[in-house]
């Protein structure tokens, strides 16, 4: 498969979970992958390299501007270009479902730092490289929750709503440079983190399944096709859009 042949893709939060699935899928399509995470992405990079594809791991804190710039510089040093940024890193599965009055302000700030400040900083780190070549794809990962107003996760839902707005405004600013900016918005995915959070699964699984037109759990693999579409030239004339992939819980 060569849909992404030789394209250089940075994926934040890619050392495990859905981000790791994204990294493997992009590599399988010919992309050269940069696994950016606060966790150690080296084992995944080694796995991808062993498969015959090309990957590197970079320690990166998306909420820190110096770290994000270093991430972009590392990608440029190794591969000489940046074609795609997937802003995947986010805080979600570790959160407790609770009324908004009970959300700790420090937790609110941490969610905003990673989920909103992170995509902003990372986009700013790669944009000059994309502008220089007149080409780029930025894919921001949001969620179906802001479309539905999901309760008891107000900090998370608010952060993902901000990602939708960030995408639209950034698409306007970067369009003249040949850079497309779109959003991928999953539903409740059975990721490693969600599977580990039994309380979250107990509270959300039944109502989410009931709301879907397609009555089954969502897996990370359900997101591969839409991600590849947004990352490749198949979506060349599409920008500022939000692609919801959640089995028809949200229809917009």
Residues with active-site annotation: 156
Q: Which residue has the tokens 């008891």?
A: 152
- The answer to whether 152 and 210 are in contact (CB under 8 A) is no
Cα separation, 214 vs 99, in Å, equals: 29
Among 14, 6, 249, 1, which Cα is nearest to 135's? Answer: 6
- Environment class of 86 (CB within 10 Å of its CB; exposed 0-12, middle 13-18, buried 19+): buried
DSSP H/E element including 70 = helix 65-79
**141 has which bridge partners?**
184
C-alpha of 234 from chain center = 19
Task: Report d(CA 242, CA 233) in Å as an integer.
Answer: 17
């Amino acid at each position: 498969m060569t849909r992404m042949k030789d394209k250089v893709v940075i994926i934040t939060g890619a050392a495990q979970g859905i981000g790791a699935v994204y990294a493997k899928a992009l590599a399988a399509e010919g992309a050269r992958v940069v696994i950016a995470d606060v966790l150690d992405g080296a084992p995944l990079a080694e796995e991808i390299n062993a498969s015959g594809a090309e990957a590197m791991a970079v320690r990166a804190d998306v909420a820190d501007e110096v770290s994000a710039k270093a991430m972009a510089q590392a990608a440029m040093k190794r591969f000489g270009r940046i074609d795609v940024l997937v802003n995947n890193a986010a805080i979600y599965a570790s959160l407790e479902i609770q009324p908004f009055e009970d959300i700790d302000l420090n937790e609110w700030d941490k969610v905003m730092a990673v989920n909103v400040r992170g995509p902003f900083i990372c986009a700013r780190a790669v944009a000059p490289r994309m502008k220089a070549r007149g080409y780029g794809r930025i894919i921001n990962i949001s969620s179906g929750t802001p479309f539905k107003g999901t309760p008891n996760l107000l900090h998370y839902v608010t952060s993902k709503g901000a990602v939708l707005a960030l995408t639209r405004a950034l698409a306007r600013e970067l369009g003249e440079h040949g850079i497309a900016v779109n959003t991928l918005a999953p539903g409740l995915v059975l990721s490693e983190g969600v599977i580990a959070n039994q309380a979250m699964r107990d509270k959300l699984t039944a109502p989410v399944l009931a709301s879907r037109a397609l009555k089954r759990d969502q897996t990370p693999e359900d997101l591969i096709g839409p991600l590849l579409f947004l990352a490749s030239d198949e979506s060349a004339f599409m920008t500022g859009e939000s692609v919801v992939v959640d089995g028809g819980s949200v229809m917009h």
